[in-house]
Chain A
Amino acid sequence: MADLKLTGVGKTYGGKVEVLKNIDLDIKTGELIVFVGPSGCGKSTLLRMIAGLEKITSGTLEIDGLVVNDIPPSERGIAMVFQSYALYPHMTVYDNMSFALKIAKKSKDEIDASVRRAAKILQLDPLLDRLPKELSGGQRQRVAIGRAIVRDPKVYLFDEPLSNLDAALRVATRIEIAQLKESMPDSTMIYVTHDQVEAMTLADKIVVLANKGIAQVGSPLELYETPDNEFVAQFIGSPSMNLLPGKVEATGAETTVNVTGHGMARSNVPTQEADKGRAVNIGIRPEDFRIAQDGENYIIEATVDYVERLGEVTLLYFVAEEGAEPLIAKLPGIHKDLRGNTVRLTAEAEKVHMFSNGQTMRT
C-alpha cells in the first residue's frame, strides 16, 4: 500500500567518497523490485537509505507522497530482513517476532494474534518457544521474515536474504518468498541481491546499479532482450553476452556489420545512411549462436579452445586474442568434442544487438 519515489538521491561518505548519485526511481504499490549490481555498486547502501539506517545526503525519498528523509526507520512503515537474519539471540522466536509490537506498546492480545498469524503463514508454530541458536538456517530466515510480517509494514526490504543459505535451501526459500509476495499483493517489496537468478525469477522490475547510478530499470525480460547498454547486456545472462567490435557495412531497416577479424553480422537494428563505416560493438548472447551451414553467411569463424558438456547444453570457448574476453557459444544438446576444430557460427538478425559508445543503438 505504498508508492516510493526517489528523486536525485545520492550518498556521500564524509563529504568525499561518493557512492551513489542522482538516483531517480518510481516504485508502485505492490511491486517487487530487485536491486542488482556488482559488489560495491551501492545496492545495499541504497536499501539502507530507504530503511533509514543510512542518511540520505542529497535528494529526497518519498513514501506515499511524504518526504521521509528525516523520519526515523520505525516510523517509515518499513520492515527489513537482514542478510545475517539479525535475530536477537537471547529471545525466543515468539519474543523476536513480538519485539517491535511490544516497543510500540500494542496490547497483549493484539501482539499474540499478530505473531500467531505470521507464524501460521511461515509454519513457525512449533518453533515459537525456541531460541535462534536451536534453529536451522532456513528456519532462522523464516523467523526473520516473520518478524517483518508481524509489523504489517507498507514496504518490505530484503538485504540479500538468501546468501547465507545453501544452494538447495536457497531455491526453496526463493519460491517461498515468491509465494509470500503473491499472498500479499498490496505490499511493496524491495529486494537486494547479487544473484541474477533470484533477480530474474522474483522481480516485477529489476534495477541494475552500476557506476554510482542506475544502469537500467525494466522487467527481467526487457533487460534480457533489450539491454540499454553494454554493462547491462553483459551483467544479465550467464554466460555473459559476447561483444565483438566491427564496422557498419550496409545500412537500412537491417544493418550489416563487418565484424573485425570475422565475417558479417546482420542485425534488425535500423540505421541511417550516415552511420555507414561507424565503429560499433555487436552483442550476441552465447545461447543465440548456432553453427552455420556450409556456404551460409557466418558471423564468426574461430577455433574451439575448450568445451564444457553439461548435458542439456554444450559450451564452446573460442581462442581469443591476448587480453580479450573469450568468445562463448552455448549450443543446445550434446555435441561431439569440437576442441581444436574451426567452427563457423551465426545468429538470427533479431538476436544481434548493436552498441555504440557502450549504449544500445536500438531506439
Chain B
Amino acid sequence: MHPAIQAVLTVGVAVIAAIAYFYLSNLLLDRVLFPARGKNAGRNINRANMIRPWLFLFPALFALCLYLAYPVVETIRLSFTDRVPGGYEWAGTSNYQQMLREPKFWEALRNNFFWLLVVPGLSTLFGLIIAQLTDRLSWGNIAKSIIFMPMAISFVGASVIFKLIYDYRPAGEEQIGILNAVYLALGGAEPQTWLTIPGLNNFLLMVVLIWIQTGFAMVILSAALRGIPEETIEAAIVDGANPFQIFFKIKVPQIMPTIMVVWTTITILVLKIFDIVFAMTNGQWGTQVLANYMYDKLFRANDWGVGSASAMVIMLLVLPILVWNVRQARKEMR
C-alpha cells in the first residue's frame, strides 16, 4: 500500500476510535454502571458526573504518563547507571562527576547562559517595539504578517537559510553569502568564515532564533497592547505625557504580565535549544549548548549515563522557569 494512503487510513481509524471511545465509555457509564433510574437515580447521576471528567481525561492522561512522566523517571534512573555488554550496572554519581570534569560541558553551560541572556530579551524587545510601531499603521497588519512568517519555518529550515547568509567563498570568487557580500562592499579586507569566529559565531546562531521568535513576541504583545483601555492613554495625553512617556509609563507597565509570559516562554525554548546549533555548527568552534551536548553523548558516544545526566541538568534549569511561567499565565487569565 502507498505510505500516504496508509497514513490517511491510520488517521481515519484513530479519529473513529477516539470518537467511539468517548461515545461508548459514556454510554457504559450512564446505562450500565450508574443508570439514572430506579430508587438511586439521583445518587447515580451525581456519581456518574463525578467520574465522567476522569473518563474523558483518561486517554490524554495515559498518553502524558507514557510519553512524559515515564521518560523522566527512566532518564533519572539511566543517569545513575552505566551501559555494560548485555545490560547495565549501577554507577552511583560517577556519570555526573565525569560530566562536571569535561570542559565541553562547561562550555555548553556557559553558552546556554549567554543564549538565555540575549535571545529572550532581544526577541521580546523587538517584538514589543514592532507591535507598538505597527499598531496604528494602515499597512501594519501586512508588516506584522511578514514579521510573523519565520514562525512557520522549522528551526532546521531557518538554519539552512542562515547558513547561506553566512556562507563563505574564497577571496576572488563571487560571494553568495549576503553577510560576506555586504562586508566586502563596506570595505572588508577579505571574506570571513563567520561561523568559526569564536564568540561572534555564538551570536550569529542566536540571530536565527531571535529572527524566528520576534514574530511570536510581536503577535502576543500586539494583542496585549490592543487590550489596554484607550481612555487610560487619553488620560495620559491630557496629563501631558509625551509618546515615549505614554509608552514606557502607561502602556508597558499595563502589559508587564504578558511581557513576562512571553519572556519566560522564549527562555524555556532557549534552554532547550538544539536544532539550530546542531544544523549550523554542531557545537564546534566553541558553540556547544547543553541539548546538543546531550545528543552528542547519547547518540554519538553511545554513553547513556552522561547523556541522561546532562538531560537532568537541562530539566532542572527549565523547571523553575516553567512553574513560574504557568503561574503567571494563570494569574493573567484571572
Instruction: Name A's B-contacting residues (CB within 8 A).
Output: 51-53, 72-75, 78-80, 82-91, 99-100, 103-104, 147, 151
Contacts and interface: CB of A to CB of B under 8 A. Distances in A.
Interface in B229-263: 229, 231-232, 234-241, 245, 249-250, 253-254, 256
B238 A51 contact: yes
B240 A82 contact: no
Interface in B216-240: 229, 231-232, 234-240
23 contacts: A51-B238, A52-B237, A53-B237, A72-B240, A74-B238, A74-B239, A74-B240, A79-B238, A80-B234, A80-B238, A84-B229, A84-B231, A86-B229, A86-B231, A87-B232, A88-B232, A89-B232, A89-B254, A90-B256, A91-B253, A99-B239, A99-B249, A147-B235
B232 A78 contact: no
Contact of B241 (A80, A87, A91, A103): A103
A237 B55 CA distance: 63
A88 B250 contact: yes
A80 B233 CA distance: 12
Interface in B142-189: none
Contacts of A84: 229, 231
Contact of A83 (B231, B238, B239, B253): B231
B253 A90 contact: yes
Nearest to A148: B238
Nearest to A51: B238
A53 B231 CA distance: 10
Contacts of B239: 74, 99-100, 103, 147, 151
B234 A53 contact: yes
Contacts of A90: 253-254, 256
Nearest to A96: B235
A86 to B, nearest CB: 4
Nearest to B250: A88
Contacts of A104: 240
Of B232, B238, B239, B249, which is in contact with the most chain A CB atoms at under 10 Å from its CB?
A: B238
A191 B245 CA distance: 29
Nearest to A84: B231
Of A78, A80, A104, A147, which is in contact with the most chain B CB atoms at under 10 Å from its CB?
A: A80
Contacts of B238: 51-53, 73-74, 78-80, 100
Contacts of B229: 84, 86
Nearest to B252: A90
| Majority SS at the chain B contact face | helix
A141 to B, nearest CB: 13
B237 A82 contact: no
Contacts of B237: 52-53, 72-74
A11 to B, nearest CB: 17
Contacts of B236: 88, 99
A144 B306 CA distance: 62
A83 B232 CA distance: 11
Given A51-B238, A53-B237, A90-B256, 9 more contacts: A53-B234, A82-B234, A87-B235, A91-B253, A99-B241, A99-B249, A103-B239, A147-B239, A151-B239
B254 A80 contact: no
A103 B245 contact: yes
A82 B234 CA distance: 9
A176 to B, nearest CB: 20
Nearest to B241: A103
A340 B47 CA distance: 59
A20 B254 CA distance: 35
A203 B290 CA distance: 72
A72 B229 CA distance: 21
B273 to A, nearest CB: 33
B255 to A, nearest CB: 10
Contacts of B231: 82-86
A151 B240 CA distance: 11
Contacts of A87: 232, 235
A91 B256 CA distance: 13
Of A79, A88, A91, which is in contact with the most chain B CB atoms at under 10 Å from its CB?
A: A88
A73 B254 CA distance: 23
A205 B168 CA distance: 79
A88 B240 contact: no
Contacts of B250: 88
B51 to A, nearest CB: 39
Contacts of B240: 72-75, 100, 103-104
A110 B66 CA distance: 66
A90 B232 CA distance: 11
Contacts of A85: 231
A80 B235 contact: yes
Of B234, B240, B245, which is in contact with the most chain A CB atoms at under 10 Å from its CB?
A: B240
Nearest to B255: A90
Of B232, B254, B256, which is in contact with the most chain A CB atoms at under 10 Å from its CB?
A: B232
Contacts of B232: 86-89
Nearest to B240: A74
Contacts of A82: 231, 234-235
A63 B21 CA distance: 74
A291 to B, nearest CB: 51
Contacts of A79: 238
B231 to A, nearest CB: 4
